[in-house]
Structure 1
Amino acid sequence: MSNLGDAPIEVLFLILNNIDQQNHLYECTLINKSFYAAANPLLWRAPQMAGGTKREDTILFRLKQSFRLPHQHCLHSTPLGHNVRKLDASKICRLQDLRVVINNVPLVEELVIGIEKLKDKDMERIAIKCPQLKCLCFISPLDGSDRFFDPLRHCTNLRELSIYHSLGSHLQLAPLQHCPLKKLRLYSYGFDNEYAKDTFFVDIPTLTHLDMDYMPQTYYRHFQALPSRPHFPVLTDLRIRNCRFHDNSTMVSFFKSHPLISTLSLKDMQINQAVMTSLATDLIHLKYLCLIDNRRLPALTNPFHRVEKLNIRGCHINAQHMAMYFSNLRYIHVAKGISTRRFNDDISQLDGSTVETITKLTYLDFTSYDSVPDDLKVYLPRRTGGQLVKEDLDHIRETALGLVWIY
């Protein structure tokens, strides 16, 4: 073998598989026939479009046109659609184009759909034609029939499902109990409302991640009586937003039924003393706690022995008890000038030395790479001048251990 171009196609494929940029893969297809044969399947695994506002510019339309082209010039007889693994049909796509493409991408694993007015037949087509589907996301409001999700019971590889839901419409999730789902995200279009009261929730024994807006009243009522049987017995990651609990004991009962939760995010909720106590006593595996826009939080009365990360935004908490009740937290950072909601005694108005005095925690300003202690266990690239960019700060906030991040 005199040069890389003489390497077997299998070797070239393994090398080019490390290239993420599609423009670089496209350049590789222009080198010679061997590079074309190795790079072309990778170029099609997650096809993308540069932009445009016309139907002819959409990825579905281009794919539909390419499937109709003769393939006698290709080195392999494998249809182009068999190379697609990730398909994003979220921008100005049409239903008739989606139907044609779905019939030609049998090995697709991730599918994002931004098309409204999907029919039950369309869901059946997706379930039958895409048996390898692992991740399915609907980013347009769904108003399907009660049987819309029935075909998902046949998707034995489905692990992630995201649904944007129109408030007030029916959303029957009963078929999900037959799917080996691990992650479920339910988002709503609308404000100050909740899911339809007849939304039906069922047991999903494999679910570990649940992300929801507007939990329905039927879900509340299930946990009004103790002991309550958990819908998600192995749930470890919970994110809830915009919930208006008429009875906070419902949330306490939910926590008692799901003690394995280790990551919890509560946003736009009124948290009372009973809920705050339940967070410390019932969630015995809680390690990451995120409180966003929950207004004034009740006083801490119980220690959070296992919490290693604490994010607080748009909330007010008694800073003097920070070190007393969070024994695994050693550092604190206050992001200046971000939050628009201020309290008279807001900690974000104080300087670093005052914050250290009140909280008994070491204040970190994150002005440079060297200002990040090693025991935060954060791995950052050293940039020119040693400065930290927004990407670095976001990474610190999400992954650092032993840190309170107030913003």
Structure 2
Amino acid sequence: MNNLGHLPAEIVSAILHHVVEKDYYACSLINRSFYKATNPLLWQAPTLRNGSKAQLFMKCLVEAQQQQQQHHHVGKHIRRLTSNVPWTDTDLLQLILPHMSHLEHLALETAKNISDISMEPIAQHCPHLITLHLNGSLITQQTMNALGQHCHQLTNLILDYAPHLSPNTLTPLVHRCPLRKVLLSAYAATGGTWMTVDETVKDLLCFRGLTSLTILGSSPEVLKSVLLQQQQQQVSWPELTVLNLDDGSRDVGDSDFIPFLQIHPGLTELSLTRCELTSATVMAMAAHLPNLSLVDVSQNGYQSLSTTSVRHMVRQCPLLTSLDLSDSGLEINDFPELEMLWDHPAYLYTLKLKQDAIERIRSAPGHGNPVINDQQ
């Protein structure tokens, strides 16, 4: 006898907790109880990867709204929207405003047509927003002002190439939004960078709960200030675990990074690309960052890192599983312990070591005491 129709709602929810996402639809067809419990899960996190799926999704939303009363509308279940469809402002307003007042995570991976016209009202309409990810948007300070005024739960802010922002981009969020993850691509539409020491860096230091910081396209003065301010004052980001900095000018080097690493032992992911690093910084990683799992020191330009310093870091950081040494002056055949990988296609043009290669270095016989010698 089939008693699935008489299961308490709590039991149905417990069953669905162990069901993978791709099987939600099948579960919704079992009976009314499973449909009622599964329907919110089916709608909670749509990912739209092409225009045809986006059109079908929009059609379903509109039809559902027409067939159901407002308080039963499926749009109320949507918490996370991810899309790489090149929406226009009009498209986005028609999609979100009538249907997604409970939206918490919005990621637009192709936002080249998105401006204040849509983002300012969306900030007002979605006060529960936790994550905002815009790639290539046209937003200005107007959107940032609206976020600071309405979205006081905003935790993750990813503005990847937003060239029309200003040095005061983060000012409206200070003391209003508990930012923990920040990515700022600071290339300005007029050339150069929109980030400054006096405004942008000063605001960044106010977010003491920051756990992840990525800065791309800024000036060396901004990067140096970020690193120096942490040394001169009380550590502003005691919970920082992820740091990604890119210095296209290669003016930021050992003397800037080493003191910073010494006072941030909780770092687990560290990307310092196109910087003026030597083996001294690698040795500092080994000495002060025991929990490192990912390191990227690629495109290190004019400096050659030593194999000794790399080996020492690998052995001192037991959790390390990814190490990018591309264009750092080293090649795969500089590591005899990796001889079996010398001809591997993956290492012909890059030196991105994954866990298997790292384990071979870690378990190889010792190569003497570690020394800081960039010619070694």
Q: Please confirm whether the aligned pair reaches a TM-score higher than 0.5, indicating the same fold.
A: yes
Cα RMSD of the aligned pairs, angstroms, is: 4.2
Alpha carbons of 1:145 and 1:334: their partners in 2 closer, same or farther (altered >3 Å)? farther
Residues 54, 35 of structure 1: CA spacing in aligned structure 2 closer, same or farther, 3 A cutoff? closer
Question: How far did residue 208 of structure 1 move?
Answer: 0.9
Asked if 1:110 corresponds to 2:105, the answer is yes
Identity %: 23
Query: 1:138, CA displacement in angstroms?
Result: 0.9
The alpha-carbon deviation at position 333 of structure 1 amounts to 9.5
Please say if residues 45 and 85 of structure 1, whose CA atoms lie closer than 8 Å, have aligned partners that are also in contact.
Answer: yes
Q: Please give the TM-score of this superposition, normalised by the length of structure 1.
A: 0.66
Equivalent of residue 156 in structure 1, options 145, 152, 165:
152
Q: Could you tell me how far apart the structure 2 residues matched to 1:195 and 1:220 are? A: 12
Query: How far apart are the structure 2 equivalents of 1:163 and 1:8?
Result: 45
Deviation for aligned residue 1:160: 1.8
In 1, the alpha carbon distance for the partners of 2:325 and 2:39 equals 46
Equivalent residue in structure 1 for 2:325, among 306, 313, 318:
313
- Counting matched residue pairs gives 335
Contact 1:264 1:286 in 2 (8 A): no
Structure 2 distance, partners of 1:313, 1:339, is 11
Please state if 1:97 is matched with 2:91.
Answer: yes
Q: Deviations over 1:84-141 (max 9, x none)?
A: 12112331333223223333323222211233354446434333322332222112x1
Q: Which residue identity lines up with residue 145 of structure 2 in the other structure?
A: D
What is the deviation of 1:46?
1.7
Q: Report the structure, 1 or 2, having the larger strand content.
A: 1
Aligned ranges for residues 247-326 of structure 1 at < 5 Å? 247-248=252-253, 249-255=255-261, 258-276=264-282, 278-280=284-286, 283=288, 287-288=292-293, 290-295=295-300, 296-298=304-306, 306-308=316-318, 309=320, 311-314=323-326, 315-316=328-329
Query: Which residue does 1:6 correspond to in 2?
Result: 6
Residue 205 of structure 1 and its aligned partner are, at CA, apart by 0.5
The secondary structure found in structure 2 opposite 1:163 is: strand
Spell out, residue by residue over 1:161-188, the C-alpha distance to the aligned partner (whole angstroms, 9 max, x if none).
2111145863622234332122222346
Q: Report the Cα distance in structure 2 between the residues aligned to 1:286 and 1:27, rounded to whole angstroms.
A: 42
Which protein has the bigger helix share?
Answer: 2
Q: Tell me which residue corresponds to 2:193.
A: 195
TM-score (normalizing by structure 2): 0.71
SS of residue in 2 equivalent to 1:69: helix
- Matched residue, 1:181: 179
Cα drift, residue 341 of structure 1: 3.9
Displacement of 1:231 in angstroms is 4.8
Cα displacement string for residues 261-287 of structure 1 (whole angstroms, at most 9, x for unaligned residues): 343223343313554454455x45553
Shift in Å, 1:298:
4.7
Determine whether 1:228 maps to 2:235: no
Distance (whole Å) between structure 2 residues aligned to residue 263 and residue 333 of structure 1: 27
**Offset from partner CA, 1:178-218 (integer Å, 9 cap, x none):** 3212222234679xx86335472322110011233234344
Q: Which runs of 5+ in 1 are unaligned?
A: 323-330, 344-351, 361-407
What is the distance in 2 between the residues matched to 1:333 and 1:83? 54
SS of 1:207 mapped into structure 2: coil
Q: Structure 1 counterpart of 2:246, which letter?
A: R
